[in-house]
Chains A and B, each alone.
Chain A
Amino acid sequence: MSPYMPGEIDNTWNDPRQRAPLVVGESASFHGVTEKICAVAEAPRPPKAWYIGFAVAFTFLNILGVMIFYLLFTGVGVWGMNRPNMWAFDITNFVFWVGIGHAGTLISAILFLFRQKWRTGINRFAEAMTIFAVVCAGTFPGIHVGRVWFAYWLFPIPNQMSMWPNFFSPLLWDVFAVSTYATVSILFWYMGMVPDLATFRDRATTKIRYFAYGLFSLGWRGSNRHWHVYERAYLILAALATPLVLSVHSVVSFDFAVSQVPGWHTTIFPPYFVAGAIFSGFAMVITLAIPARQLFGLQDFITMRHLDNMAKIILVTSMLVGYAYLMEFFIAYYSGSPFDRFHFLNREFGNMFWAGWIMFGCNAIIPQVFWFKWFRQNPWALMIICALVNVGMWFERFVIIVTSLSRDFLPSSWHWYTPSYVEVLTLMGSFGLFSTLFLLFCRYLPMVAMAEVKSVLPQANPHNVTGEPNPTGYQPVLTSDEKH
């Protein structure tokens, strides 16, 4: 139990005879859930910290806008790229953000299919994060091309030239993979939100809120028929989204694996990228969840148990990623390819060795502390380690892209890479975009899937109405509307 969060209820025991409660404290009732979640959006004004965060985020969003404007009107040369480093921050950021966007769908789709009930506390939150990350990710391939005004040629649009895109190119697969992923994620997120939006609508006190939530709740009345259709659709979307979790980052990894640059041309990339994406996605969920639950008082929903579970996933994926790192080394040695051998030596001991070690250290070594319970359950430790994981994962993409490109085949073409200020500010600006969207989400939309959380409360279990032993010692008080 954290010393920093007095009053928090410990639900992190592992007693196989008893399921630990997923919602704790005063919120562990149908009414409690509704009140607690709606309170965030219905409060007359958000906490001060929200304003500060929003000001910072919005500033960076504006910086992003200025940087993109400058880029588009001037040329890609305002970034620090050169030959041979034709990609650098742009694609690094793209892959980084796409990776972040993996946790949401994993939580909402795969964990749903596996009946992992603890997902309900964090899934809305993670899905929103996914969508905002995909928005950030989608920005970069869009603006990084030399002639942005023709970027639509990437899409197979019938045209007078009878010209199709090149279906051999992994970049084209990217277009399909990421756009499909974005579409399904948004649908999934929005559809799951409809019952909660209806709750907001029903509780609305102003006309604007009533109209806006009313519009987006699509006339949800909560009838049995609605619930039936909803749950069926949710299941289908979850089934659709599940392969996407694996496919998107696999396809993104093809950008590299299909090419022949030493350090890119590796068959391990698809699973390695997916593991890395889940790894970084969960790290980002924790990084955001810890301050958010504190700020909006969601400790009852995002409990220590949730954090503990996520830390365990991070530990597993960290080891997967670490295994992939080592396996790359082994294969480079075992293949006998002098280019690959050189590349991996160069990655750890060459002129950009620091980037290689940041990646290896942050991703494969530091998360090993999650073997210890204290680290899994101390919010500060979790925050710091997860932030480091995010740094490490950004560097992983940077190392793969820049270290590989900067020294490929002909030594005469080797060239150092230095980012320009525009690139750095664009990266920071993308965090601004992400944070702005996220803060708006926190303020105006249901951060926790109320309807789903209610379904995992002990009260929702038809066999449990008489009250199963309640280890928290908290006796739910049934409110009048829940009695019938």
Chain B
Amino acid sequence: MPSMKGKNPLKGKKYWRSLNEVADAPEFKEFVAREFPSQASEFIGGGESRRNFLKIMGASAALAGLASCRRWPEEKLTPYAHRPANRMDGVPVHYATAFERGGMGQGVIAVSFDGRPIKVDGSPTHPLNMGASDIYLQGDVLNVYDPDRSRGPVTRDGGKRSESTWEDFEAAAKKIDKTRLVVLSEASRSPSVARLRGQLVAAGAKWFEFEAWSADNQRAGALAYFGRPLRAVPRLDAATIIVSIDADLFHGEPLSIKFNRDFAAGRKLRDSAKFAEAQMNRLYVVESGFSITGSMADHRRAVKPSAIPGFVAALAAKVGVAGATGAAAKELAEFVDALASDIDSASKTGQKTVLVAGSRQPAEVHAAVAAINAKLAAPVEYYADPEDPRAETGWSTHADQLSAFAQAAAGAGTVLVIGCNPALTAPANIKIADVLKKVTSIHIGTHEDETAQISAWHVPQAHFLEAWGDVRTFNGAVSVAQPLIEPLFGGRSTIEILSLLLGDKKQGEDIVRETAGADYLKGRLTDWNWKKALFDGVVENSARKSESPVPGAAAAAVFGKLSGAVKSGEIELALFAGALFDGRYANNGWLMEMPDPMTRVSWENPLIVSPKTAARLGLVSDDVVEIHAGSSSIRAATYVLPGHADDALSIAVGYGRKGLGSVADGIGGDAWALRGDGTMLISDVKLVNTGERPIVACVQDHHTIDAVGKNRMYTEVPELVVEGTFAQYKKKPALGTRKIVALSIFDEHSYEPGQPWVMAKWGMAIDLTTCTGCSACVVACQAENNVPIVGKQMVYRGREMHWLRIDRYFKFARDEKTGAPAGDLSQGSALGSGVDPTDVQVVHQPILCMHCENAPCEEVCPVAATTHSHEGLNMMTYNRCIGTRYCSNNCPYKVRRFNFFDFNAGHTYGEKENLYTPNLLRDDLDELLKMQKNPQVTVRSRGVMEKCTYCVQRIENARIQILAKNRQDAGNAKFPDGAVVTACQQACPTDAIVFGDLNDSKSRVSQLQALAQVYGLLDTELNTKPRTQYLAKVRNNAGDLDRGLYNEHTASEGWFFENTEEPSEKTEKAKG
């Protein structure tokens, strides 16, 4: 993070002084306000000092009792005679809490270390997360420590900014005339917010709800079809055929975490006892961009956004939905026929089909999809949403809510904007800046964002880890959110501010408890139930039952409106939510630096173009273009992505920020500005090539690749990513994996149990069939292991530090005889890697340290800084490393990362375009960022090599507990399966990563590694014996719809044994 020096300096003093709010005793306040070491004199002094000392002790114990919500005081000189309850130094404490994004509640388990939240993961009990995460959830903990968060109420008079106080704001709030108050709130399904909103509305205020990246087109579609704005929850796990209609199921949808999990549940070939009886779902995707969902597709077509309603109509007609007519565009006709016949044959055997349309598709498409799903009796659950404020005023979409707000605000006395940032995200046809400037506007938000910059008041909103709250998820299940830390910058939660406006000024916990008593714990609000709700993370019996809606009166008309639902244009543009979501994570360095799983670009929102369109427009990757849509224009670098629809463009929103923070400012272009109206699909855009070519930080395949390199990729990648079809798998599950019989002249280390120090033989299995490339593991690893971010320039130079990366390879149809790419490759030259732009598949391959048993890195280190553990971990001793970098050279997987600079302390992204600015002597780490660091993992300094450790700190924590339990028989202690879960494994929503003890034949990882489709990357070539093994990727194609894409690849020249079903037998024979 950039230094706070010179800008809003935060000294340790200020941070620790916020303890004042913790303990109310005035003596304690006075005491803590003093600084160390003057405090030391208190202890030596007379009787009065002793009293003070006892008070501190008392207060500390009280703090400990408050447990989850307090930061521990810095007590350097007061060792305990008796340990206070609930506190053990150095032992992390886990709390269940919750937050919501876009009105969808998520349950999390937060890890608190000495009072500092350092990591969040999905709550295993929560119906949406079920223990899993996405990138945003993993990245959210960094937002707590964002130095650019607002630090207190701010007023603006004209352009003049002045810092204010909460007292002033409270005084101002008292004067607000509630009958002339108009509220624009982010979507929230919090029962407490709903209750306070009810009170405000009763007092005469008007309430509108706005989310820029909104999923409510689906509900508008349900309103059209069923007459009620129900929330659809497609059950991907219950369907055999899944049709994604421009939906990025696995990233950015409200239910993405659940979609990932449910989809993977239908692809767990590894779990069936007999491979011949395995079942597998099939994913059809029609989309304009190339999303990670598209990369998982079994059959996929890329079309312009305007062709999608036609596709839906044609499909509806084919499957026999009453009233549906229409034919798909000719490039889709064959696809629709094949899909319809597949659906038909599936339904004959009782298998289900489900259609899912994407958030950015218009309501008409969603209505039609609801009709088709109804016709097919698709496994879709529908839930009512009574907390929706729009239920009271007549339901309308968020875009309409914003227009209504703009009208209402014109005559308002005060306008309150909660959480959202309409000045950035509002469509261009609503002049929200004019509206806000004319009235007294109050902005509640975490940052002084674009809306705050034009509001009269800005008050800081607390992060969810700092505040009490309650949220509802898709099925209405309530989770209570508890704070883990006192607000670092004095922010307050939405409910506290609403309470303040209502004149109550209640504390968050009181508000939530009151709501609980009135709502979800009605009649059973006991201390026990309250604690249980906090402990469980979900309130018992709070989930609703799904509804069985019947088509409404207007249901027959839904197909009539389909044609023309998306305007067509010569070149159409679709907006999508990338790493920054709608822009709320723009100042989050982890997410900013996370390479997009498809383009592999970080620190940028490139304009994504198909190779053919790029060739037609004369563009190549990196060209900066001006994008004109309506009256707006932005600039963005081009990225040519094979597999993208022709004559269509895609760009991520949330970039191009001004005055938000040091990470976000000036990165990329603000794609929100291109929205003329509420739609994310923009029909007609013009591109102007500016001729500029700045650096674009792409971590893979960026540079133009020559013919030699290209040919090598054609032959090598199929050996790195073994892939086969479901039909091939059923015949021979080994697919193209190979084994080598390497006879060693040495006695190889056995790692068998019973040897001293060997409690386990660690190994990992990564299932490429279920890995969707969602990248949650990448961010989780960064959060867990104190992996620094390095900034755009350093990423461009190939110095990013991610311990876990997800390699992305394109696959294209190949001529069966020559092995050369089929199709016209000249069009692909814009990308440089020369792929056939029409038939493309993408595979994601997570790469982390393989922990080779024959680790090439270990032998070459001259100072023995990287060594092998008795349990087979390839270990890195940072303190011993002198940085010769030889290990990285000799690592065939290139998983080792080098601290070229003091990245952890360096202010690398203050100067985003310039080279790293050297600091001659090491700076101290930023005080705030220090707080986020995981104290169980070394914070590496410059000049040392680092890499994945299999989360060795988690292994050792588990070992301590196991050995403590088995003191009598420590020599035989074993790790039970699941005792150690790596950070990436914990985050993975599809359970694609499995870690455990290979000595335990019953452990999941042992069973997976025993499967025939398992292979070690480069193992046959180099005999590295990697402990991380991959399960070959299987796709489930139906016939030859994608000409040639499913050709079985052939292994290169006869170096290696082809793997058979029983590799062990072959090994035996060869040895004999």
Question: Measuring CB to CB, which residues of chain A are less than 8 angstroms from any residue of chain B?
Answer: 70, 73-78, 80-87, 144-148, 150-151, 153-154, 163-166, 168-172, 175, 255, 258-261, 336-339, 342, 345-346, 349-351, 405, 407-416
Q: Which residues of B contact A338 (CB under 8 A)?
A: 715-716, 1021, 1052-1053, 1055
Does B979 make an interface contact (CB < 8 A)? Answer: no
Closest residue of A by beta carbon distance from B889: A86
Query: What's the minimum C-beta distance from B123 to chain A, rounded to whole angstroms?
Result: 34
Q: A154-B863, A165-B863, A260-B890 are in contact. Are A73 and B918 (CB under 8 A)?
A: yes
Would A73 and B809 count as touching, CB distance under 8 A?
no
Q: A260-B892, A412-B809 are in contact. Are A75 and B861 (CB under 8 A)?
A: no
Other A-B contacts than A164-B864, A171-B884, A412-B700, 16 sampled, CB-CB below 8 A, are: A75-B942, A75-B943, A77-B794, A77-B901, A81-B900, A83-B896, A87-B885, A146-B884, A146-B942, A147-B882, A163-B864, A169-B886, A258-B859, A259-B856, A261-B890, A410-B892
- Name 13 A/B residue pairs within 8 A (Cβ), A-sorted: A74-B920, A75-B918, A76-B885, A83-B798, A84-B798, A145-B943, A146-B882, A169-B859, A255-B886, A259-B886, A259-B890, A338-B715, A342-B708
The tally of CB-CB contacts under 8 A between chains A and B is 196
Q: Which residues of B contact A337 (CB under 8 A)?
A: 1021, 1055
Closest residue of A by beta carbon distance from B892: A409
10 A-B pairs with the lowest CB-CB distances in the bound complex, closest first: A146-B883, A146-B943, A77-B900, A82-B798, A74-B918, A86-B885, A413-B894, A412-B807, A147-B943, A171-B862
Would B882 and A150 count as touching, CB distance under 8 A?
yes
Does B5 make an interface contact (CB < 8 A)? Answer: no
Query: What's the minimum C-beta distance from A399 to chain B, rounded to whole angstroms?
Result: 15
Closest residue of B by beta carbon distance from A420: B915
Measured between alpha carbons, how far is A157 from B631 in the docked complex, in Å? 72
Would B890 and A336 count as touching, CB distance under 8 A?
no
Would A412 and B847 count as touching, CB distance under 8 A?
yes
Closest residue of B by beta carbon distance from A151: B882
- Which residues in window 905-947 of B have CB below 8 A to A? 916, 918-921, 942-945
Would B894 and A75 count as touching, CB distance under 8 A?
no
Would B1018 and A166 count as touching, CB distance under 8 A?
no
Q: A86-B888, A172-B862, A405-B889 are in contact. Are A76 and B943 (CB under 8 A)?
A: yes
Closest residue of A by beta carbon distance from B710: A411
Would B888 and A166 count as touching, CB distance under 8 A?
no
Does B201 make an interface contact (CB < 8 A)? Answer: no
Interface SS, A side: loop
Would B916 and A77 count as touching, CB distance under 8 A?
yes
Does B899 make an interface contact (CB < 8 A)? Answer: yes
Q: A409-B1018, A410-B892, A416-B703 are in contact. Are A147 and B859 (CB under 8 A)?
A: no
Does B898 make an interface contact (CB < 8 A)? Answer: yes
| Chain B contact patch, size range | 35 or more
Would B860 and A83 count as touching, CB distance under 8 A?
no
Q: Which residues of A contact B942 (CB under 8 A)?
A: 75-77, 146-147
Does B757 make an interface contact (CB < 8 A)? Answer: no
Measured between alpha carbons, how far is A145 from B807 in the docked complex, in Å? 29
Q: A84-B889, A410-B893 are in contact. Are A350 and B864 (CB under 8 A)?
A: no
Would B856 and A260 count as touching, CB distance under 8 A?
yes
Closest residue of A by beta carbon distance from B719: A338
Measured between alpha carbons, how far is A346 from B883 in the docked complex, in Å? 29
Would A170 and B889 count as touching, CB distance under 8 A?
no
Would A166 and B712 count as touching, CB distance under 8 A?
no
Query: What's the minimum C-beta distance from A436 to chain B, rounded to whole angstroms?
Result: 27
Q: Which residues of A contact B943 (CB under 8 A)?
A: 75-76, 145-148
Does B706 make an interface contact (CB < 8 A)? Answer: yes
Would B892 and A83 count as touching, CB distance under 8 A?
no
Would B889 and A259 count as touching, CB distance under 8 A?
yes
Closest residue of A by beta carbon distance from B900: A77
Would A407 and B798 count as touching, CB distance under 8 A?
no
Would A350 and B1055 count as touching, CB distance under 8 A?
no
Q: Which residues of B contact A350 (CB under 8 A)?
A: 706, 708-709
Query: What's the minimum C-beta distance from B1038 to chain A, rounded to whole angstroms?
Result: 30
Q: Which residues of A contact B921 (CB under 8 A)?
A: 73
Q: Which residues of A contact B25 (CB under 8 A)?
A: none
- Which residues in window 858-884 of B have CB below 8 A to A? 859-864, 880-884
Closest residue of B by beta carbon distance from A352: B706
Q: Which residues of B contact A150 (CB under 8 A)?
A: 882
Measured between alpha carbons, how far is A260 from B1023 in the docked complex, in Å? 11
Would A346 and B712 count as touching, CB distance under 8 A?
yes
Q: A84-B894, A146-B943 are in contact. Are A154 and B918 (CB under 8 A)?
A: no
Does B963 make an interface contact (CB < 8 A)? Answer: no
Measured between alpha carbons, how far is A350 from B705 in the docked complex, in Å? 9
Closest residue of B by beta carbon distance from A147: B943
Does B797 make an interface contact (CB < 8 A)? Answer: yes
Query: What's the minimum C-beta distance from A166 to chain B, rounded to whole angstroms?
Result: 4
Would A154 and B859 count as touching, CB distance under 8 A?
no
Query: What's the minimum C-beta distance from B812 to chain A, rounded to whole angstroms?
Result: 14
Q: A153-B863, A411-B717 are in contact. Are A75 and B709 (CB under 8 A)?
A: no
Q: Which residues of A contact B615 (CB under 8 A)?
A: none
Measured between alpha carbons, how far is A345 from B703 in the docked complex, in Å? 19
Measured between alpha carbons, how far is A197 from B704 in the docked complex, in Å? 60
- Which residues in window 36-88 of B have CB below 8 A to A? none
Q: Which residues of A contact B797 (CB under 8 A)?
A: 80, 82
Would B862 and A175 count as touching, CB distance under 8 A?
yes
Query: What's the minimum C-beta distance from A143 to chain B, rounded to whole angstroms?
Result: 11
Measured between alpha carbons, how far is A258 from B889 in the docked complex, in Å? 12
Q: Which residues of A contact B920 (CB under 8 A)?
A: 73-74
Q: A147-B882, A171-B886, A410-B807 are in contact. Are A415 and B716 (CB under 8 A)?
A: no
Q: Can you list, as one digit per residue, whether each of B401-430 has a CB less than 8 Å from chain A (1) or not (0)?
A: 000000000000000000000000000000
Closest residue of A by beta carbon distance from B716: A411
Would A82 and B862 count as touching, CB distance under 8 A?
no
Measured between alpha carbons, how far is A415 from B943 in the docked complex, in Å? 21
Closest residue of B by beta carbon distance from A141: B884
Contact among B713, B860, B1018, B1053 for A258, CB-based, below 8 A:
B860
Q: Which residues of A contact B1066 (CB under 8 A)?
A: none
Would A410 and B894 count as touching, CB distance under 8 A?
yes
Q: Which residues of A contact B1053 (CB under 8 A)?
A: 336, 338
Would B944 and A411 count as touching, CB distance under 8 A?
no
Would A146 and B881 count as touching, CB distance under 8 A?
yes
Q: Which residues of A contact B918 (CB under 8 A)?
A: 70, 73-75, 78
Q: A74-B918, A75-B900, A336-B1055 are in contact. Are A261 and B889 (CB under 8 A)?
A: yes
Does B17 make an interface contact (CB < 8 A)? Answer: no
Measured between alpha carbons, how far is A349 from B712 in the docked complex, in Å? 12
Would B881 and A165 count as touching, CB distance under 8 A?
no
Contact among B794, B798, B862 for A154, CB-based, below 8 A:
B862
Contact among A86, A165, A259, A407 for B862, CB-based, below 8 A:
A165
Q: Which residues of B contact A151 (CB under 8 A)?
A: 882
Does B180 make an interface contact (CB < 8 A)? Answer: no
Closest residue of B by beta carbon distance from A413: B894
Does B617 make an interface contact (CB < 8 A)? Answer: no
Q: Which residues of A contact B805 (CB under 8 A)?
A: 412
Would A339 and B1021 count as touching, CB distance under 8 A?
yes
Measured between alpha carbons, how far is A146 from B886 in the docked complex, in Å? 11
Does B799 make an interface contact (CB < 8 A)? Answer: yes
Contact among A146, A164, A351, A408 for B892, CB-based, below 8 A:
A408
Closest residue of A by beta carbon distance from B1053: A336
Does B902 make an interface contact (CB < 8 A)? Answer: yes
Closest residue of A by beta carbon distance from B1055: A336
Closest residue of B by beta carbon distance from A85: B798
Measured between alpha carbons, how far is A112 from B919 in the docked complex, in Å? 53
Query: What's the minimum C-beta distance from A205 to chain B, rounded to whole angstroms?
Result: 49
Contact among A74, A169, A413 for B861, CB-based, below 8 A:
A169
Q: Can you list, as one digit per residue, whether each of B348-371 has a CB less than 8 Å from chain A (1) or not (0)?
A: 000000000000000000000000
Would A165 and B900 count as touching, CB distance under 8 A?
no
Q: Which residues of B contact A82 (CB under 8 A)?
A: 797-799
Does B340 make an interface contact (CB < 8 A)? Answer: no
Q: Can you list, as one digit per residue, whether each of B170-187 has a CB less than 8 Å from chain A (1) or not (0)?
A: 000000000000000000
Closest residue of B by beta carbon distance from A161: B880
Measured between alpha carbons, how far is A414 from B898 in the docked complex, in Å? 16
Contact among A146, A259, A261, A411 for B899, CB-based, below 8 A:
A146
